Amino acid sequence: MTVTLADVAVRAQVSPATVSRVLNGNYPVAATTRERVLRAVDELDYVLNGPASALAAATSDLVGILVNDIADPFFGIMASAIQGEIGGPGGRAGGERLAVTCNTGGSPERELTYLTLLQRQRAAAVILTGGAVEDAPHAAAVAAKLRKLADAGTRVVLCGRPPAPDTDAVALTFDNRGGGKELTEHLIGLGHRRLGYIAGPEERTTTRHRLEGHRAALAEAGIAEDPRWTVHGRYDRRAGYEATLELLRRDPTLTAVVAANDSVALGACAALRESGLRIPADVSVAGFDDLPFSIDAVPSLTTVRLPLAEAGARAGRIAMGREEPPPGGIATVRGELMVRGSTGVPRA
């Protein structure tokens, strides 16, 4: 039924061992023999049996990428960059790896299950992207899993995610706190004193860090923060829309709204516009991430650009062992403030 290595061996008049070695190219095989084997492979249209190969060799060519939300370009862009470096098809011949993206939906259990599935497949590497959930038991469980993966020879890299304690996973962390601070400083510099903040879901590192940056900026400027000025929600436009309405209800005198990310900011803009407020004349709006559509918003969004593609590519290279991990295994990736049309001086 299916063609096996043995069939190829018979056809090429060599032993299965030789066929295997030709295919893996890590053992001297005479040119003429190799050619004969390759011809047989071609004629029989042979396809290696991955599981069998993985079993015998005790390694596989799977590389897992965990994302919180595959429908969000934030993750899509990183995943795309990672895959580009994993080589999938396109890498050096023979070294083809299957880069697979797993969508956790932000759920801790799913994250763990996927990690187990990947462990079960004896993945060559695993890359976790995006913020982590801040729950001690869960964090410990993930750390344990990562340790086991590492023990089994799987390379583990965190991209855009804080370092995992008690783990020697390489971490490329975004400076969410610094970016958040800079953004709010920009607003304060323009003269804003009453700033609403639409945060992401609680219990997520990204949410907390960005919020901390925001508050640090307020504190440094001597602005007392009103608890009514912060609302939590998901990382999507809908949440931004609703949160903005809520903020406006709580305090109609706000002159600026800082959003957890660009999608949220877009929702905020929609809500403000529908409320009859002009941006930035009446209310300034700022986002985070600088996703591609941000520049097309009207007015275009002031935001913090995160080098998603670059970070992803680097994480991919490290996972493939093609680039040295940063000293200490941890690197901080900084964002860049992009001042655009959605922020301006507050109304008098």
Residues near DNA (CB under 7 A) are 2, 4-6, 13-18, 20-21, 23-24, 26-30, 32-33, 46, 48-49, 52-53, 55-58
Q: What does 28 bind: its own copies, DNA, none (CB cut-off 5 to 8 Å by kind)?
A: DNA
According to DSSP, residue 325 is labeled: P
| Closest CA relative to residue 150, chosen from 319, 346, 311 | 319
* Cα-only R_g, the chain: 25
Q: Which helix (H) or strand (E) holds 52?
A: helix 50-57
- Does residue 248 come out as left (phi exceeding 0), alpha (psi in the -120 to 50 range) or beta? alpha
Q: What does 339 bind: its own copies, DNA, none (CB cut-off 5 to 8 Å by kind)?
A: none
Q: What does 71 bind: DNA, its own copies, none (CB cut-off 5 to 8 Å by kind)?
A: its own copies
Nearer CB in complex with DNA: 4/80: 4
Diameter of the chain measured on Cα atoms: 88
Q: Is 344 exposed, middle or buried (0-12, 13-18, 19+ CB in 10 A)?
A: buried
Nearer CB in complex with its own copies: 217/283: 283
Q: What does 6 bind: its own copies, DNA, none (CB cut-off 5 to 8 Å by kind)?
A: DNA
Q: How many residues does the chain have?
A: 348
Q: Residue numbers of the site for its own copies (CB under 8 A)?
A: 2, 45, 47-55, 60-62, 69-73, 75-77, 79-80, 83-84, 88-90, 96, 98-103, 105, 107, 109-110, 112-114, 116-122, 148, 152, 236-237, 263, 266-267, 269-270, 273, 292-293, 295-298
Q: Which amino acid is at 134?
A: E
- Rounded to the nearest 5°, which phi and psi values hold at 72? -95, 120
Nearer CB in complex with DNA: 50/189: 50
Percentage helix, strand, coil, to 5, in the chain?
Answer: 45, 15, 35
Nearer CB in complex with its own copies: 115/211: 115
Q: What does 98 bind: its own copies, DNA, none (CB cut-off 5 to 8 Å by kind)?
A: its own copies
Nearer CB in complex with its own copies: 119/332: 119
Nearer CB in complex with DNA: 28/165: 28
Smallest separation (angstroms) from its own copies to the CB of 62:
8
Q: Which helix (H) or strand (E) holds 62?
A: strand 62-67
